[in-house]
Structure formats: structure tokens, C-alpha cells
Amino acid sequence: MKGAAAGYLGQKVVEDIDLEVRTGEAVAIVGSNGAGKTTLFRAIVGLLPCMAGRVILDGVDLTRRRAHRVARAGVAYVPAERHLFPAMTVKTNLMLGAYPHRPNRETLELVFDLFPRLKERLGQQAGTMSGGEQQMLAVGRALMTQPKLLMLDEPTTGLAPKVAKAAFEAVERLKATGMTLLIAEQQVPLALSVADRAYVLENGRVRMEGTAEELEHNPEVRRAYLGVA
């Protein structure tokens, strides 16, 4: 994305965003509450209009496309709230995830490899699953679309520290399959543990960017986000 801006009611919340995710890369957007991570994600997936700039996927301009057409172009988005169908089973959630395509058996196998728990709970109502299980299901459902780019908005939302760590271990396994990932996360150490590169978002602008290793050693990042003096 290039020079992008987005916001609400004519007010820009994020601005001047130059962001690149290369094929097979895991890129993190880190920043505290209200930095603009979710707003940026919504602009990429077409839930919010871009007020400036462009969104390009594999050379195709997605800037003015609506959300369902961005999804069809290969961008899957898992919102922090997950938006599962709580009254439906795990299986139905996964099958509907593939829509408008038919569920693909190999993709389903990949989801079960990543999250064996889902296979054990196929008949369970999604709404009765634990927070961590619901996160797995939300990611699994997004994978059913066989996306080119998978975007996860704060996958650790509402998860206990141990479960959050497990969620990122799953992200690591997913990365190993070659999936291209864009992850927004407040828990900077976790995000940097899987990301190849990261952007630090502050007040709607990119304050810093670099490889995860560069940012881990950056004194400002360490002070502000890693709790190191």
C-alpha cells in the first residue's frame, strides 16, 4: 500500500502509510491502543474507503473495491472480534469459510494439521469453544478461502498469556507453510517473535520500520514496547 490514508467521518486516523508485504513474508504492525492498526486493516480490506493512496495486490489495484471483492482477490481478514457463527458448529463455520468456493479437502486437512483441536471438536457449537479455540477456528475459517494474504488483527485479544503464546506458535507453523501474513498486534514481543519485518504505528503514522531483529534491538522500541529500560 502506498501513501494510504483512512479514517472516519472525513477525519483521517491513519495517514501516509507506505506498507509492503512480500510473498511468503510475515509482517507485523505493532502499536498501542488507538494507534490505528484496525483502521489500517479495514482500509486494506475495503471495509473503509482509502482517503488517499493505493492498495495493490500482485499488481492489481484493489483501492476502490468493496470488501467482498477484496476477499475474492485473495485477501482474508480475521478481525479481533473473530465474527464466528456462534450457533453453528465448527464444521459449518469452516465450510462456510470457503464461500463462494466449495470447501477444498486439502485445505481442510491443512487446517486440521495446524489445529488438531478443531478436528476433535467438529460437532461443537462455535460459541461454546474457549477463546483460544475460537481464535483457531477464525484462522481456520479464513484459510478455507485459500488466501494469498492472511491478515490477523490482534490474534491474542482476550487470551490468557499462555494461550496467546500458543496462538503465535500456530502463526509460526502457518508461516512455515509459506503463507503470507500481515498481523496487527499490541503484544510487541510476540509479534516480533514471528515477524520477518515490522512497522511501528503511532498516532496513525509509521514511526519506525525494519526487520524484527532491528526493532528488537532498537532502544526506543525496547523502552516503549518491550518494557526494557
Ligand X SMILES: Nc1ncnc2c1ncn2[C@@H]1O[C@H](COP(=O)(O)OP(=O)(O)OP(=O)(O)O)[C@@H](O)[C@H]1O
Residues that bind Mg ion (CB under 5 A): 37-38
Q: Pick one of ligand X, Mg ion, none as the site partner of residue 39 (Cβ within 5 to 8 A by kind).
A: ligand X
- In whole angstroms, what is the distance from residue 79 CA to residue 164 CA? 16
Q: How far is the CB of 131 from ligand X (least distance, A)?
A: 16
> In the complex with Mg ion, which residue's Cβ is closer, 38 or 156?
38
- CB-hemisphere CA count at 13 Å for 81? 4
Any idea how long the chain is? Answer: 229
Compute the CA torsion angle 10, 76, 207, 161 (nearest 10 deg).
120
Q: How far is the CB of 37 from Mg ion (least distance, A)?
A: 5
Q: Pick one of ligand X, Mg ion, none as the site partner of residue 36 (Cβ within 5 to 8 A by kind).
A: ligand X
> In the complex with ligand X, which residue's Cβ is closer, 153 or 216?
153
Q: Pick one of ligand X, Mg ion, none as the site partner of residue 34 (Cβ within 5 to 8 A by kind).
A: ligand X
Of the candidates 186, 219, 203, the residue with the CA atom closest to the CA atom of residue 36: 203
Residues that bind ligand X (CB under 6 A): 8, 13, 31, 33-39, 154, 186
Distances (CA, A) of 35 to 21, 185, 209: 20, 11, 15
> In the complex with ligand X, which residue's Cβ is closer, 26 or 44?
44
Query: Which residues does 162 contact at the CB level (< 8 Å), separation at least 6?
Result: none
- In whole angstroms, what is the distance from residue 217 CA to residue 176 CA? 24
Q: How far is the CB of 220 from ligand X (least distance, A)?
A: 18
Q: How far is the CB of 193 from Mg ion (least distance, A)?
A: 20
- In whole angstroms, what is the distance from residue 225 CA to residue 12 CA? 25
Q: Pick one of ligand X, Mg ion, none as the site partner of residue 78 (Cβ within 5 to 8 A by kind).
A: none
> In the complex with ligand X, which residue's Cβ is closer, 185 or 216?
185
φ and ψ of 27, to 5 deg: -120, 135
Q: How far is the CB of 204 from ligand X (least distance, A)?
A: 7
> In the complex with ligand X, which residue's Cβ is closer, 31 or 147?
31
